[in-house]
Amino acid sequence: MRIAVVDDEEIILEGTMRTLRRCWPKDEVIGFQDPVEALVALTKSPCDVVFLDIDMPGLDGMYLARQLKMASPQTNLIFATAYPQFANEALDLHASGYLLKPLTEEVIRREMTDLRYPVEFSKDKGLYVKAFGNFDVFFNGNPVRFRYTKTKELFAYLIDRRGNSATNQEIQSVMWEDGTDKTSYLKQLRKDLADRLDECRCGSILIKRRGCMSVAPDKIDCDYYEWIRGTARGINAYNGEYMSQYRWAETTRTSLDKTDG
């Protein structure tokens, strides 16, 4: 599914896109701050759902909505505005929703699950690794629950390494900065990670050798890896945040920003 957000206010635009990507990480989310640019792009390549501001400079949202409806009558239009007085016009356009700002995740989820023209969300089958924003791991659309919190961080670090081996000593120095020996604990984390991946029938993505380990990037569905390959899905998924809960990931995030710029 393709989702577009059109809003001339950058903070609102980015916030809505972040929420959509967090809720539906496998679907394509694109954004436009310029409504004229949105008109050109979305008439040429329609989206399944379009979130529209109304009061925008250069081209108001109602006019844009009418043009999008002409180009693709089955597009779900969801107006997101600070003005309640245009609701009747929205109804005349057979809009899927009319929301008053500020938008919350709860409201967005509600509207997306009750669209006027139902569309199919991307299937969350198999293992999916989300590195943009907070690091998360999903299997068949559900979060993977590790026995230890640090197991998730270990997997995140291996994902960050992109197939390069990480020694036990290196992992300890990155994940624990106090310098204490965590060999025994790390052994438990390695086992927990292997067990959880085996449960997801994805054990082959983990490569274990004596004293080191890595992952097989070509076997992993991950937004970061999609970004590296230059796919539209990966590029659109990057929101300026990368494995936000881990301080050691800052180096990669800085690199992403430089490349993205």
CATH number of the CATH domain containing 13? 3.40.50.2300
Last-in-domain residue among 87, 112, 137: 112
Mean pLDDT of the chain: 90
Per residue in 5-26, pLDDT (tens digit) is 999 999 999 999 999 988 887 7
Check whether residue 139 and residue 244 sit in a common domain: yes
User: Does 36 have pLDDT greater than 60?
Assistant: yes
User: Does 261 have pLDDT greater than 60?
Assistant: no
Does 118 reside within a domain? no
User: Does 33 have pLDDT greater than 70?
Assistant: yes
CB crowding 136-157: b at 16 or more within 10 Å, else e? bbbbeeeebebeeebbbbbbbb
pTM (2 d.p.): 0.58
* 124's tokens: 């969350």
Span 81-106, average pLDDT: 89
Check whether residue 48 and residue 169 sit in a common domain: no
Does 137 reside within a domain? yes
Span 157-162, average pLDDT: 97
Q: What is the DSSP letter of 22?
A: H
Number of domains in the chain: 2
Q: What is the pLDDT of residue 117?
A: 85
Check whether residue 190 and residue 224 sit in a common domain: yes
Q: Which residue has the higher pLDDT, 27 or 181?
A: 181
Check whether residue 233 and residue 150 sit in a common domain: yes
Check whether residue 91 and residue 150 sit in a common domain: no
Half-sphere exposure in the Cβ direction for 53 (13 Å, CA): 26
Can you give the residue range of the structural domain that contains 176? 127-260
- Radius of gyration, CA atoms only, the chain: 21
DSSP string, 86-131: GHHHHHHTT-SEEEESSP-HHHHHHHHTS-SS--PPPP--SEEEE-
Query: Is the separation of the CB atoms in 66 and 39 below 8 Å?
Result: no
Check whether residue 155 and residue 100 sit in a common domain: no
Percent of the chain at pLDDT > 70 equals 97
Query: Peptide bond preceding 102: is omega within 30 degrees of 0, i.e. cis?
Result: yes
Check whether residue 37 and residue 158 sit in a common domain: no
Q: What is the pLDDT of residue 248?
A: 96
Check whether residue 68 and residue 132 sit in a common domain: no
- Return the minimum-mean-pLDDT range out of 45-49, 119-123, 256-260: 119-123
